[in-house]
Structure formats: structure tokens, C-alpha cells
Amino acid sequence: MVERRELSSGYIIVGAYADKIRKVLFGHFSDRIKAKEIDPKLVAKYAGDLNKFLYEIFVNRLKLDKGDVVRVRIEYEYDEDTKEFKWDFSTLRLEVFKRVPEEEVKKVLEEAREEVETIISREIAYDVKKLGTTEFGDEIYEVYVSDQSVGILQVTPIDEEIVVKGAFTYPEAKVIEKTRMKIVESIENTLKSNIGSLLITAKEADYEKCRKIIERIKESIVEEEKKEEEKEEEKEEYKWY
């Protein structure tokens, strides 16, 4: 039996749409998930596919800001026999509350529809940039996708390894708990190569919680001038007279 339903995100800011899409889809099947009739990983996978497609439209093509408001509506089918979802992208309707002409939104959507499979299957390219260090010597790295900040990582170097924790707002809102990994070439290279695997094992969380974690980690960065002052104070403390 094939069940057809519509998903509606309601009005939501661009920065939080991915979390809302996931919650709505899980809500549609909450009873069946509890009854173990549907694998929650399957629901998460299809929510991720839609969110990836929407990111391409909202961020890369329409150049929307995180605070812009959107509403997403799309129909989909769920086959109880094969346990498969299928998004009907021909029914996708987007409302964008920004000074973007409706004709431009329609044009971008039509062009993107023709590339649905390519967009969903495309590997996400992450980049990292070191922002600074904390007073305890932890290194803070911001993570980017297409020049858009999507997360933060706090790295503690230990010999030839690092312990990583942090938070992401894309492709989904997730928290990365302490994860240990071996350094390959450099810390930056190690992070870039392992962000995908970090996100697979990361814990799902609310967008707002992840945003607060990101801000808190950024606030822990010690300014260079302050670090130099602390070094000078240490020198004075251990002078011999």
C-alpha cells in the first residue's frame, strides 16, 4: 500500500528549516517508529535528502540569509511494502519572504528540479578555518560549506591525536561529543577528512541549542593580546632576583 501525504514546514527562518523539516517528517511517523514498524534512520535519510536540496536553493542559488523566512510544502509517498519514501518534487512549493521577485524563485526552482539527483548525491565539501585558541590551549575551528558557516569544532591536541567536540547547524542540527582521532598530516587536514564521519555519529539536537553551543565556544577564544600579556606575567613570576 502506498500512502501519499504532504509535508509543510510552516513559516520558519532559513537557519532552522532543516531541523523543522526533520521534526515534521518524524512527527508523521512517530507512532510507527515507536512500534518499530519504520526504521528512524530511514526517515532521517529522506529528511536529509530534502534538506540538502533545499540548501542548494536557499543558500547557493537564492543567496538567502539565515534570518530570512521561508515556508516549504511538498507531497511525498511512503510505500509500506518496500519501506521506501519518494519526494514528489513536482509539488514542491516555496514561499520566500525577502525582496526576491517571484519569477526569480520559480526560475531557480525549475532549474534545480532538473538536477535533483545530482544535487542530492553530490558530496558536501567542507572547509575549516582556525579562529584561535582558548586559555587552556584548545584550538577552535569554524566549519564552512560554500563560504557559509555551518558549525564549530573545539580541538584538544594530545600527542599525535586530537579530541574533537562541537556543534553544527547544517546539514542538520547536531552536537558532536568528545571524539578521539589520529592526526594525519595536520589538524586542519584531519578535520576536513573526517567531518562527514563525525556528523554520522553526532547527536541530533535543536537548532537553537546548537547555535548557543557555537556562540559559547567562540566566546571561549582568548585574544592574542591577552595571551601575550599572560606570557609576560609568567616570565615575571619566574624571574630570579
Q: How far apart are alpha carbons 59 and 52 in whole angstroms?
A: 10
Q: Is residue 134 part of a domain?
A: yes
Q: Please give the sequence-ordered ranges of beta strands (E in DSSP) within the chain, or none if there are none.
A: 2-8, 12-13, 69-79, 84-97, 126-133, 139-145, 148-158, 161-168, 174-182, 203-204
User: Residue 238 is which amino acid?
Assistant: Y
The boundaries of the domain holding residue 83 are 2-121
pLDDT for position 231: 53
What is the grid cell recorded at 131? 579562529
Q: Is residue 72 part of a domain?
A: yes
* Cis-peptide into 171, omega within 30 deg: yes
* CATH number for position 104: 3.30.470.50
Using DSSP bridges, classify how beta strands 161-168 and 174-182 pair: parallel, antiparallel or unpaired: antiparallel
Q: Read off the pLDDT of residues 15-50 as tens digits, 9 standing for 90 and up.
A: 899 999 999 999 999 999 999 999 999 999 999 999
Q: Is residue 13 part of a domain?
A: yes
pLDDT-based confidence at residue 241 (cuts at 50, 70, 90): very low
Q: What is the mean pLDDT of residues 130-158?
A: 93
Domain finish residue from 92, 121, 150: 121
Report the chain's mean pLDDT, rounded to a whole number: 89
Q: Is residue 234 part of a domain?
A: no
**CA 68: distance to chain centroid?**
17
Q: State the residue for C-alpha cell 543567496.
A: 63
Q: How far apart are alpha carbons 194 and 198 in whole angstroms?
A: 6
Return the percent helix, strand and coil in the chain, to nearest 5. Answer: 40, 35, 25
Compute φ and ψ for 175, nearest 5 degrees.
Answer: -115, 130
Among candidate residues 228, 210, 233, 208, the one with its CA nearest the CA of residue 132:
228
How many domains in the chain?
2
23, 204 contact by CB (below 8 A): no
pLDDT for position 224: 60
Q: How far apart are alpha carbons 169 and 149 in whole angstroms?
A: 9
Same domain, 146 and 75: no
